[in-house]
Amino acid sequence: MRELMEVILHRRAIRRFDTKQIDEESLQQILQAGLYAPSAGSRQGPLFVVCQDKTVNERLGKIKRANSRPSMATATSYVSKEQPSIADDPKIKNAFYNAPTVITLFAPKNFLFSAEDCAVAAENMMLAAESLGIGSCYIGQGWTAFADPYGQEVLRKWGVRTDYYAVVQLLLGYPRQGDPHPTPKPRKEGRVLRF
């Protein structure tokens, strides 16, 4: 349990990646962690599409950025000063932050717990990545990356079923050399109620 807790406490969102691609053995371990995540009714609904094509990832990341409407950060309200998000820095044009590996999790459109199943799988994969020294970042509203003709063409090329939708993208890559690991924010008081 101690090692697991160390991984949980150390994991942070990484948005600055090295250009080096993650190794295949690590990728397989991360995917296995996702495949073994709990799912409602043990349906195992999520579909994991791994894209390591830099050109495709960059174009989809730019489409996602163009279709995202985050409220821009202020001096007192922001996502991260250490690892800025697209909400923090309008100059960031790629919502995938140039991650070398992007895993899009798709799930059935007509299942009540599709989003939850994908979120649990993504968390398993983020913890596995952290344990392997690989940075990760969870990017919600996955469908916005495919909201134009190019995105639709990619879905057809990938063979994604039309009754599935993109729930989330999980960005993976080695943290950029020289960047300090993001520091944890203090935990807020009063979040655990006991009776």
Residue 80 binned pLDDT confidence (cut-offs 50, 70, 90)? confident
Task: Give Cα 182 distance to the centre of its chain.
Answer: 17
Task: Spell out the residues 6+ positions from residue 25 whose beta carbon is closer than 8 angstroms to its own.
Answer: none
Residue 1 binned pLDDT confidence (cut-offs 50, 70, 90)? low
Residue 17 binned pLDDT confidence (cut-offs 50, 70, 90)? very high
132, two tokens: 């392997």
Q: Taking 80 as the threshold, does the pLDDT of residue 71 lie above it?
A: no
Q: What percent of the chain shows pLDDT beyond 90?
A: 82
Mean pLDDT of the chain: 94
For position 32, what pLDDT does the model report? 98
Start-to-end C-alpha separation, the chain: 26
Measured CA to CA, the distance from residue 113 to residue 18 in angstroms comes to 34
For position 48, what pLDDT does the model report? 98
Cα angle vertex 35, ends 106, 5, to 5°? Answer: 110
* Half-sphere CA count of 162, side-chain side, radius 13 A: 3
Task: Spell out the residues 6+ positions from residue 102 whose beta carbon is closer than 8 angstroms to its own.
Answer: 50, 51, 52, 57, 60, 61, 96, 169, 170, 171, 172
Q: What percent of the chain shows pLDDT beyond 70?
A: 99
- The DSSP symbol for 82 reads S
For position 94, what pLDDT does the model report? 96
Q: Helix H segments across 83-163?
A: 114-131, 149-158
Measured CA to CA, the distance from residue 158 to residue 146 in angstroms comes to 12
Q: What is the mean pLDDT of residues 34-62?
A: 97
Cα angle vertex 75, ends 82, 12, to 5°? Answer: 25
Give the tens place of pLDDT for each residue, 138-181.
Answer: 999 999 999 999 999 999 999 999 999 999 999 999 999 988 89
Give the tens place of pLDDT for each residue, 109-145.
Answer: 999 999 999 999 999 999 999 999 999 999 999 999 9
